[in-house]
Amino acid sequence: MPDVTLTTLQEMKRNGDKITMLTAYDATFARAACQAGVEVLLVGDSLGMVVQGNDSTLPVSVEEMAYHTACVKRGNQGALIATDLPFMSYATLEQTLANCARVMQAGAHMVKLEGGANLVPAVQRLAENGVPVCAHLGLTPQSVNLFGGYKVQGRGDAQARRLREDALALEQAGAAMLLLECVPSDLASEIARTARVPVIGIGAGAGTDGQVLVLHDMLGLSLTGRTPKFVKNFMAGQGSIQDAFAAYVKAVKDGSFPAAEHGFSA
Ligand code: KIV
């Protein structure tokens, strides 16, 4: 597979080819995901939960994100690597620039920040400095304490309007990609249709330009025993992890994942 770039992803959106994204935290899984055809490897701060065993993503540090990004880079074979900036590491513009530099120099091609229109100054500055940003909207796990739990976002007229406005503001500020987590499927489809940049979904229905899942979730592994509604266990019925990755890529590409049962209503 030739190296995946932002141009590749923009072309995929234009052509209606679904984009596959999967979290990766180490070299071996990164390599296996690439070999299955995954276009974007997300070094997610979900590693705080699935790798470190915390009950939220809040304890993760920039150094830990840089370490896992470097691990993923060593296993990568042509995918685009996106890395999360962790909790409170982009509270000021100076912090944002310094911490982005750290993860980009470790091997990220793009950074992911959680938030809405409040991120506009950071997105503008990063774009001016050559850093592509994926803006993560909807259920942003770093704000779990503000939300009072992991809850669907964008329900009701006021929240839906705010999400549309945030998505537009971030795109206009220069965000290269949007990621919608746990938002009603119809709203996510509308945002993806309107946006000129690729929109990736998780718990956002089948109408986005691509899908992402957390590696451990899609392999049917859970520390808590609870499986979110939007997760499908791709390991079920497969003989190997490579087969599970291939099944995920195929299901996203042919539109069979996510099914209606994985999404949320308004
Ligand atoms: O950290 C992460 O893995 C994420 C995904 C849930 C999208 O942000």
CA gap 172, 211 in Å, rounded: 23
Whether the CB of 72 sits within 6 Å of ligand 1: no
CA gap 88, 111 in Å, rounded: 14
pTM: 0.98
Whether the CB of 44 sits within 6 Å of ligand 1: yes
Residue 88 sits at the vertex; the CA angle it makes with 117 and 209, to the nearest 5 degrees, is 50
Q: Atom 4 in ligand 1: which residue has the minimum CA distance?
A: 44
Q: Atom 8 in ligand 1: which residue has the minimum CA distance?
A: 44
**Structural contact between residues 202 and 137, judged by C-beta atoms closer than 8 angstroms:** no
CA gap 5, 62 in Å, rounded: 24
Q: Per residue in 98-127, is it b (16+ CB within 10 Å) or e — as a string?
A: ebbebbbebbbbbbbbbbbbebbebbbbbe
**Structural contact between residues 206 and 196, judged by C-beta atoms closer than 8 angstroms:** no
Looking from the CA of residue 141, the nearest atom of ligand 1 is: 8
Whether 171 is a known active-site residue: answer: no
Q: Which of 214, 218, 229 to mutate to test the pocket of ligand 1 (most atoms within 8 A of CB)?
A: 214
Q: Which of 179, 208, 212, 215 to mutate to test the pocket of ligand 1 (most atoms within 8 A of CB)?
A: 212
Q: Per residue in 140-167, is it b (16+ CB within 10 Å) or e — as a string?
A: bbbebeeeeeeebbbbeeebbebbeebb
Whether the CB of 21 sits within 6 Å of ligand 1: no
| Cis status, amide bond into 258, omega within 30 of 0 | yes
Question: Tens of pLDDT along the chain (266 residues)?
Answer: 569 999 999 999 999 999 999 999 999 999 999 999 999 999 999 999 999 999 999 999 999 999 999 999 999 999 999 999 999 999 999 999 999 999 999 999 999 999 999 999 999 999 999 999 999 999 999 999 999 999 999 999 999 999 999 999 999 999 999 999 999 999 999 999 999 999 999 999 999 999 999 999 999 999 999 999 999 999 999 999 999 999 999 999 999 999 999 999 99
Q: Which of 65, 68, 136 to mutate to test the pocket of ligand 1 (most atoms within 8 A of CB)?
A: 136
